[in-house]
Amino acid sequence: MDQHDAILSRLLDLHTKPIDLSLERIVRLLEALGRPHERLPKVIHVAGTNGKGSTIAFLRATLEAAGQRVHVYTSPHLLRFNERIRIGATGGGKLVDDARLAAALERCELVNAGRPVTFFEITTAAALLLFAETPADWLLLETGLGGRYDATNVVAKPAATVIASISRDHTEFLGETIGQIAFEKAGIFKRGAPAIIGYQSDAAMKVLEEQARRCAASSIIAGQDFHISAENGRLVFEDDRGLLDLPLPRLAGRHQHENAALAIAALRVAAPQTPTAAIEAGLTDAHWPARLQRLDRGGIVALAPPGAEVWLDGGHNEDGGRVLAEAMAEFHDRAPRPLALICGAQVTKDIGALLRHFAGLAHSVVATPFKGEHKCWPPEDVAAMAKAEGFPFCAAAASVEDALKLLAERRFEQPPRILIAGSLFLAAHVLAANGSRID
């Protein structure tokens, strides 16, 4: 076990609850560390249910293409904790190395002195310490859960706040309704900082606009102040500064057009001198693992039916299911193939709602378990849900590997398109088993 892994293991035991939304503990810890959150570069703070990581990927790729040094904080990680902390540098940032990570975690552990603090709070403090001690032009800061009481919400004067698409998730912490969840996300809005609001349901938009007005944050709203459309294989962005004729994003799926638009709108306000060439590069260079990622042959993909396409996505809620189903339908229109779904989900997630979006689209559903911090749905239960939804072929498998083998034994009219989805824990296992790296 590496040094930082041992420290991370100890930090997991500092609080009886893995999630306990509050700012008191992290503020206390940051005070003891010398208030690093007050020595950060310009911050773009991003919240939302779906799309915030992709939006940050577009922001980072664009700013780096413009020659900027960009720190990035995201969560959760897929293969190793270092993925959460990217240290900005000229020519492109790098994930924090093991030695620097261990040193920052040790400092936080020392000043915390065994007092109760959640894992996310103390690791966020370590990230802010690293960002404060390394010169950069920007920090792209992603909330972990919610916004109002999220540990990242200690930055008093961000350059901009951004809200990606909001849907029902983590209802046990954020509330049952879209309005309640939107209220929590809007907690990152700050007086004087522009609030860039992505495409939302009417219920979410109403709350977000109200909260922006309440804290005197000027709002820039998708569908009102900026627009996006795909025309003739190009992406057209338009706002009050004019029209941009851009390449389509590298990230697959039409939902990424909206995430790209949100990133562009944020930069038009927070970094108005960003060249169009950098925006073009940002769209074509951005990458974000396990978000409609096509897997290369080799590793476990070799277990799939010969000639099959294998796609991976960490989508795990109803809205994630909707955009995935839309993307698969679009793929089918362009290049028809039978669709098979391999899925697994935490018991706290409404896997039935995700599945319903694939009714009439996917022919086969194979449910699988996975290992992770949280209990997953028994695959037999998920297969039964799929059967109740009317999928022609439903089965349970002991692992993703077994699910791929099962599909390889079936006869398809042509090589299938396989989508593995339902959980980031499942996605992490697939990436690791397929020999993938995240740098």
Per-residue pLDDT tens digits for 371-395: 876 789 999 999 999 999 999 999 9
Q: What Rg do the C-alpha atoms of the chain give, in angstroms?
A: 21
On the 0-12 / 13-18 / 19+ scale of CB atoms within 10 A, 242 is exposed
Alpha carbon distance 350, 318 (integer Å):
7
- How is residue 32 written in tokens? 């003891």
Residue 416 and residue 308 in contact, taking contact as beta carbons nearer than 8 Å: yes
Q: Closest Cα partner for 345 from 312, 320, 313, 367? A: 367
The β-bridge partners of 411 are none
- The DSSP output letter for 303 is G
Q: What is the pLDDT of residues 219-246, one digit of tens each?
A: 999 999 999 999 999 999 999 999 999 9
Give residue 140's pLDDT band: very low, low, confident or very high (50, 70, 90).
Answer: very high
State residue 1's pLDDT score.
52
State the architecture of 293-433 in CATH terms: Alpha-Beta Complex (3.90)
Q: What is the pLDDT of residues 417-436, one digit of tens each?
A: 999 999 999 999 999 999 88
**Common-topology check for domains 3-285 and 293-433:** no
3-state secondary structure 90-120: CCCCEECCHHHHHHHHHHHHHHHCCCCCCHH
3-state secondary structure 130-177: HHHHCCCCEEEEECCCCCCCCCCCCCCCCCEEEECECCCCCHHHHCCC
Give residue 396's pLDDT band: very low, low, confident or very high (50, 70, 90).
Answer: very high
Specify the CATH number for 3-285; select among 3.40.50.720, 3.40.50.920, 3.40.50.1700, 3.40.1190.10. 3.40.1190.10
Beta strands at 160-163 and 42-47: parallel, antiparallel or unpaired: parallel
Q: What is the pLDDT of residues 238-279, one digit of tens each?
A: 999 999 999 999 999 999 999 999 999 999 999 999 999 999
Give residue 316's pLDDT band: very low, low, confident or very high (50, 70, 90).
Answer: confident
Whole-prediction pTM: 0.95
Residues 6+ apart with CB under 8 A from 374: 346, 347, 348, 425
Tell whether the model's pLDDT for residue 280 goes beyond 90.
yes
Look over the chain and give the mean of its residue pLDDT values, rounded to a whole number: 94
Show me where the domains of the chain are located.
3-285, 293-433
State residue 315's pLDDT score.
86
